[in-house]
Chain A
């Protein structure tokens, strides 16, 4: 399974990863090799086999609906790269159009 450079760029875009030109080439060859290796799974007939998402039978247990204190705002914002007046600052998301 050989990936093209365009496919690598598309995957990087889906994954929101800015890559350098060198990285694109490196990942193109490495991902191609790993995907070729994974091709061996096609040797197995799995038509009648159900998929496993969790190996151990753990059910999604609902916990009691008890109100607990949440993280204080200061603590929640303490690791934010940029914050002001109790808000996180990011570049403009919505722009006004004339």
Chain B
């Protein structure tokens, strides 16, 4: 079976019409994973036994007349999302052997929808990074050029979808970690509104910013997957009560005529923007105009402060969330320790990698007595200004548009010694998390032979408009049909 270009929507049709079975599909993806993994390393754990059993059950349920939304559809899940009975490491030595005793709510919803779990995908340690090079188990490689990064921290999920090792995957986005790797790997990635998808069972990094989102080949696939995982969850007190529309059905009514697109001037004029990325984004804007949309220049004057705000708030929350890894109840424990304090410090010193330690230290400092007002509280106030910039923009426009990443995929190792250079990879995405808004990245061209992503940002809770706008563009272009040749794999 040729699975290279299969989408979720097509897989559903093939299954519905009896042209394939869940077991046949699952075997095809497992075989492709076996062939490509030595070159791509998108997975930390492949679960053939779990997948084959789920596929067998899905075929049985279908034979009995059942048709759940993802019945028999194979997927991959980022390894920061808890899966009962399946090792979940967060890309960290700290959780190298951890097997969660419960499912995250999204996983529970995928199980009920009939999905088949191919495995857990690679991630920067505790989702901290922009290249998936911070994984304690080795970097994932970009399927378009294996000497380059796939982006991060959901780089494993993005690479798995780009290489067709899975037709879709779940990622998490704290400062751009779904959208930026989607852009660098040439796939679709959505960060939903904060609170749209339950975070219960997502191993926390920065709780006021984290959100789970889909990575897929098409906008329609993202709409389908979002419909399954979205919705209120009593186990997550920050989960919203808003009703979940049928996102996939809404795409048939998609139209951009009369829509106003806000073009962020300071993003397109940014000195760090790669010329090829600028060209691809400008061509995409012209396409929108030809489809009947109106382009409106807007300004987000405080977006230039997004990076320092993010790198104070996210580490502050991380320093608190990661305090739970003390070597007592679960996770790595150092051998030969003198007393309980020594056990805490040595277990954490040995279990965490450099980026995680750096952020814990930064957060501890920003929250410490004497520096709280100067750093943490100041950042929270500027966060208000960033949020207000978006509120003002949405008075004038329906959607905000710009590049997803300032550059196409960079070389492995190119930025690892300079944290600030690495942090700049998320410069256009992280303000969206600070403001809690939904954002999507869709393929919009190539620069130096590497994929470029276009970012669309919407009003809170209005994923429908975002998906509709993205879908119309996708239908008018064929970037999403390009697949990496994998000749150098």
Contacts and interface: CB of A to CB of B under 8 A. Distances in A.
Given A51-B384, A71-B102, A82-B333, A88 B328 contact: yes
Nearest to A66: B234
A73 B308 CA distance: 43
Given A11-B368, A52-B387, A44 B382 contact: yes
Interface in B324-381: 326-333, 337-346, 348-350, 352, 354, 357-358, 360-362, 364-365, 368, 374-375, 377-381
Contacts of B343: 90-91
A38 B375 contact: yes
B14 interface: no
A82 to B, nearest CB: 7
B99 A78 contact: yes
B375 to A, nearest CB: 6
Contacts of A38: 308, 311-312, 375, 379
Nearest to A48: B381
Interface stretch (B69-77, B167-175, B236-244, B447-455): B236-244
A84 to B, nearest CB: 14
Contacts of B307: 37
B458 to A, nearest CB: 13
B382 A46 contact: yes
Contact of B385 (A46, A56, A78): A46
A98 interface: no
B383 interface: yes
A67 interface: no
A37 B436 contact: no
B460 to A, nearest CB: 5
Nearest to B384: A52
Contacts of A27: 357-358, 361
B434 interface: yes
Interface residues of B, number: 75
A93 B380 contact: no
A15 B364 contact: yes
Given A41-B309, A81-B327, A14 B384 contact: no
A90 B340 CA distance: 7
B434 A31 contact: no
B466 interface: no
A2 interface: no
Contact of A52 (B239, B302, B383): B383
Nearest to A76: B101
Contact of B360 (A15, A56, A76): A15
B193 A93 contact: no
B379 A41 contact: yes
A11 B323 CA distance: 14
A20 B384 CA distance: 38
A10 B339 CA distance: 19
B153 interface: no
A92 B338 CA distance: 9
| A: interface residue count bin | 35 or more
A29 to B, nearest CB: 10
A34 B241 contact: no
Contacts of B410: none
Contact of B354 (A23, A41, A58, A90): A23
A11 B101 contact: no
A30 interface: yes
Interface in A23-81: 23, 26-27, 30-31, 33-35, 37-38, 40-42, 44, 46, 49-56, 58, 60-61, 63-64, 71, 75-76, 78-81
B292 interface: no
Contact of B326 (A13, A16, A44, A79): A16
B340 A56 contact: no
Interface of B: 97-99, 101-102, 193-195, 208, 234-235, 237-241, 302, 305, 307-309, 311-312, 319, 323, 326-333, 337-346, 348-350, 352, 354, 357-358, 360-362, 364-365, 368, 374-375, 377-385, 387, 419-420, 434-437, 460
Interface of A: 8, 11-20, 23, 26-27, 30-31, 33-35, 37-38, 40-42, 44, 46, 49-56, 58, 60-61, 63-64, 71, 75-76, 78-82, 88, 90-93
18 contacts: A17-B345, A23-B357, A26-B354, A34-B311, A38-B379, A46-B382, A49-B384, A51-B383, A52-B381, A52-B434, A53-B208, A55-B208, A63-B235, A79-B98, A81-B331, A88-B329, A90-B340, A92-B339
Given A18-B342, A49-B381, 10 more contacts: A11-B361, A11-B365, A16-B326, A18-B348, A27-B358, A41-B309, A50-B384, A55-B208, A90-B343, A92-B340
